[in-house]
Amino acid sequence: MYLGTSSRLSYAIGRNGYIPGMVDKVSKRGVPWVSILLAFVVGLIVFLPFPSWQSLVGLVTSATAIMYAFAPVSLGALRKSDPDRVRPYRLPFAAVLSPLGFVSADLIVYWSGWTTVDKLFGALMIGVVLFGISMAFRKPDKRPVVDWKASIWVLPWLAGMAVISYLGQFTGGRGTIPFYLDLVVVAVFSLVIYYMAVALSMPAAKVQAAIAAEEFDADNQPELKVAG
């Protein structure tokens, strides 16, 4: 399951121009075969620093929680910048559920323990370095547009979660923050980061321009030929 979803993720990142190479190539049936091979090789490599399957599952679960943490932030930001767009489904009570979703994702990361979090954040740093290399070697007209102001909140978020996990009560933590108080610390910190992220989100004009560019790109993509 993770091999399939990971391959689709790397395919999407490649198609958006964040990593170079052939990861966005698909077969005649629309299968991202290069990304599947890449996910398989990376999956074998990440087994090396883990003593057991359970340890690897803990890392994957935390990574998934971090990935899902961006969803409520995106919803809150788009409700602010593009509130009147026609949607097939509109989440009720989003002003309450979105910050709660972000808090829940951070709690999952915290509960995984410092032993897992340090490896996870190390992997994230490797990803940042690869992203920087990709941006440096791409031609200016091929580089994806990155709004650094709107994404700056990620740095204090990850740094804060690393510190809380290190001082927390779960596997590998120092145990400095007492039980139950640690949950309050994570919740309060997460709410501060959530509202900071929404406040720093792209203004409405930039959002409209990005949506227009995405729609133009989708309309001009060649149709995939499906065999059979």
Residues 56 and 19 in one domain: no
Give the pLDDT score at 76.
94
Range(s) of the domain holding residue 91:
51-219
One domain, residues 59 and 136: yes
Claim to verify: residue 61 and residue 174 sit in the same structural domain: yes
Is residue 127 domain-shared with residue 31, that is, in the same domain?
A: no
Phi (first) and psi of residue 100, to 5 degrees: -65, -35
Let me know if residue 227 belongs to a domain. Answer: no
Task: Say yes or no: 23 and 121 in one domain.
Answer: no
Q: Which two tokens stand for residue 180?
A: 């139950």
Element (H, E) at 217: helix 204-219
Mean pLDDT by 10 residues, the chain (228 residues): 77 77 82 87 75 72 86 93 86 94 95 88 84 78 78 93 94 91 96 96 84 70 46
Same domain, 169 and 213: yes
Domain for residue 208, yes or no?
yes
Residues 6+ apart with CB under 8 A from 200: 149, 150, 152, 153
Q: How many domains does the chain fold into?
A: 2
Q: In Å, what is the CA distance from 132 to each residue of 124, 136, 144, 202?
A: 12, 6, 12, 22
End-to-end Cα, the chain, rounded Å: 25
